[in-house]
Chains A and B, each alone.
Chain A
Amino acid sequence: MPESFSNNSSLGWIFQPFFLYLKPRHMMKTYSKIELKKCNGKNGIPVCFAFEGKVYDVSESFLWQQGKHMVLHNAGEDLSEYLKDAPHGEELLARFSIVGLYKDELYRR
């Protein structure tokens, strides 16, 4: 079992949203807080952020240029708490690919 699941006692890795079956969870890269922080869009590095335990790659998004989004948000962070205040919902995230799982979130479950 991958290191990222060693502390996860729940069976969440079996019961996961359908689209995650495209790439089974155990095959996805797991990001720690430090690894996610590196994904900041600076100097050609991909632009990623975490939302509810999943890491999204938004490098192709015009609205995430240089790792900044609408002045307020930076790439490389867990933005789970902020979506409720945003003028858009979770549906916009479906436009981007999930490139991994966020480890800190997994430990919380």
Chain B
Amino acid sequence: MAKVAREMVEKAGVDVDKLLELLVKNAAAELTTFYYYTILRANLIGLEGEGVKQIAETARIEDRNHFEALVPRIYELGGELPKDMKVFHDMSACPPARLPDNPKDVKAILKVLVEAERCAVRGYTHICNMTAGKDHRTYELSLAILNEEIEHESWFSEFLGEGPSGHFLRLGETSPFAGKFFK
């Protein structure tokens, strides 16, 4: 644990135990999403599905990256991950991104994907609001992740006909914002 780092955050007025619970819940959301997206991506097939597969894969890998980026901060602040993976799954900050009943329905898969990203955007906005000007390191980490989650949301939203994302698919390395926290 980074004792002084935690003290500084506490002195700034952040309830560190609540923050840690949020960070662990969001780490759970990232890892479980990585798992569920693996299944979603595998089912994105055919003329419609193949077009979505690349961005689903990028989002999947970046969500795993977010998990990797969050874990060091959890331990720095004196927190820990649950010993039981089942407990970890069930405490996720976002509902499971399960494969829809009809796995051939690409639109239904896209709705699952966009809902998962929207949940993440809300979650990291919440952590940013809680830590802004108080816990600089967690804020910067959450902001980096938030930037990527917003891009994921806009990619899937575009496929659902909600308007242009304004982006092109990720070229080069994944996690351009959060990369520095886990490399």
Contact = CB atoms under 8 A, between A and B. Distances in A.
A62 B94 CA distance: 7
Interface stretch (A21-29, A38-46, A65-73): A65-73
Contacts of A72: 18
A70 B126 contact: yes
A8 to B, nearest CB: 35
Contact of B21 (A62, A71, A87, A88): A71
A70 B96 contact: no
Interface in B98-128: 119, 121-123, 125-126
Contact of A87 (B18, B25, B94, B123): B123
Contacts of B126: 70, 86-87
B120 to A, nearest CB: 11
Contacts of B93: 63, 70
Interface string A57-90: 0000011010000111000000000000111100
Contacts of A71: 18, 21-22, 25
Contacts of B92: 62
Nearest to A92: B122
B129 interface: yes
Contacts of B123: 70, 87
A72 B30 CA distance: 20
Which 6 pairs between the two chains have the least Cβ-Cβ distance? A62-B95, A87-B122, A87-B125, A71-B21, A87-B126, A71-B18
Interface residues of B, number: 17
A39 B95 CA distance: 22
A87 B25 CA distance: 16
Report whether over half of chain B's contact residues are helix, strand or loop; otherwise say mixed.
helix
Interface of A: 62-63, 65, 70-72, 85-88
Main secondary structure of the interface of A (DSSP, over half): loop
A95 to B, nearest CB: 11
B129 A65 contact: no
Contacts of B125: 87
A87 B129 contact: yes
Contacts of A62: 92, 94-96
Given A87-B126, A87-B129, A63 B21 contact: no
Contacts of B96: 62
Contacts of B122: 87-88
A65 B93 CA distance: 10
Given A85-B129, A87-B125, 14 more contacts: A62-B95, A62-B96, A63-B93, A63-B95, A65-B90, A70-B22, A70-B25, A70-B123, A71-B18, A71-B21, A71-B25, A87-B126, A87-B129, A88-B122
A88 B90 CA distance: 22
A87 B153 CA distance: 15
